[in-house]
Structure 1
Amino acid sequence: MLEGEGRQFSIKGERTMSQGFIAQYAAEAALHTEGVSALNKGAITTLKEAIGLEQEGQGVRVSFRGEASDDVIITVYLDVLFGFVMPEVAWFVQERVKRDVERYTGLNVDAVNVHVMRVVEDEDAGKIEIGKLFNPEDYL
């Protein structure tokens, strides 16, 4: 099995799903949650985009629990709008991401980790300032 793919077997054969495909569903679910301003790509991803390197699933990381497992762990990095209660926003993101990914992919979502990277005011929504962000990739 290729790394970064989930497998499912049925009577009709085998299906595979890439991490990027799953990340798209997770990103859509997170962005449609009240209080979420944007997914936070991080400074490194922004720099890679600037030099023309394409990134898959920006602001969302998907990993499979085991090689042939249908269990996924999803980590979402997001910005929250000022005035919303962060634990509530994170809880709703967890619920929505789990529900949507399980519904549309048939995979079992084992965990949804939510990292609030910034709190932004409305006029700053979606803007990323390079050098002023904590980037989890720097510490992994």
Structure 2
Amino acid sequence: MSENTVNESIKGDRSMTQGFVAQYAAEAALQIDGVAELVPSFAVALKEKAGVVHEGKGVRVVFGQTQNDITSITVYPVVFYGKIIPEVAWEIQERVKSDVERFTGLDVEAVDVFVCGVREMPQEEVKDQEEEDQ
């Protein structure tokens, strides 16, 4: 059985899969300034190598057991060098929580952020940032 079809949350007359919610969360996290990419878990990376498509790469969603239970989300970003990691993590938490709650109607209890690495900014972004600072 697929991970996305086993765990469904029912809100009214709609049902949502973990992949659906993870996709919203991933899109919200990637819009934050300082996020280079999201990193999939080891298990997801293996599934992708086998050709299985995974929605919301770099995001894990856990639903509560009943329809009124809360949802928790874990995000695994890589942050650009020079950005303040706690600030980027806070922005990810705020954006993911608000977007998922607004678009799905689910109650998000927690958004955990585990920064998986730091990456150097591409040269064109470094030049743009230097021009803004002057």
| TM-score, length basis structure 1 | 0.77
The offset of 1:8, in angstroms, is: 1.3
Task: Give the gaps of 5 or more residues in structure 2.
Answer: 123-134
Q: Is contact 2:19–2:54 with CA below 8 Å preserved after alignment?
A: no
Q: Is contact 1:7–1:70 with CA below 8 Å preserved after alignment?
A: no
Pairing 1:4–2:30 present = no
Partner of 2:22: 23
SS in 2 for 1:24: helix
The offset of 1:70, in angstroms, is: 4.5
The offset of 1:4, in angstroms, is: 1.4
Hey, what's the Cα distance between the residues in 2 that align with 1:19 and 1:73? 11
Which structure 1 residue ranges, 4+ long, deviate > 6 Å from structure 2? none
SS in 2 for 1:99: helix
Hey, what's the Cα distance between the residues in 1 that align with 2:65 and 2:49? 34
Q: Structure 1 residues 103 and 80 mapped into 2: Cα distance closer, same or farther (>3 Å)?
A: same
Partner of 1:97: 96
The structure where helix makes up a greater share of residues is 2
Pairing 1:33–2:36 present = no
Hey, what's the Cα distance between the residues in 1 that align with 2:14 and 2:46? 34
The amino acid across from 2:33 in the alignment is E
SS in 2 for 1:119: strand
Q: How many residues align?
A: 118
The structure where strand makes up a greater share of residues is 1
* Percentage of pairs with the same residue: 51
Hey, what's the Cα distance between the residues in 1 that align with 2:87 and 2:23? 22
The amino acid across from 1:48 in the alignment is K
RMSD, matched Cα: 1.6
Pairing 1:53–2:52 present = yes
The offset of 1:68, in angstroms, is: 2.7
1:59-101 CA distance string (max 9 Å, x none): 1000012233351100001100000010000000000000100
Task: Give the gaps of 5 or more residues in structure 1.
Answer: 124-140
The offset of 1:45, in angstroms, is: 2.9
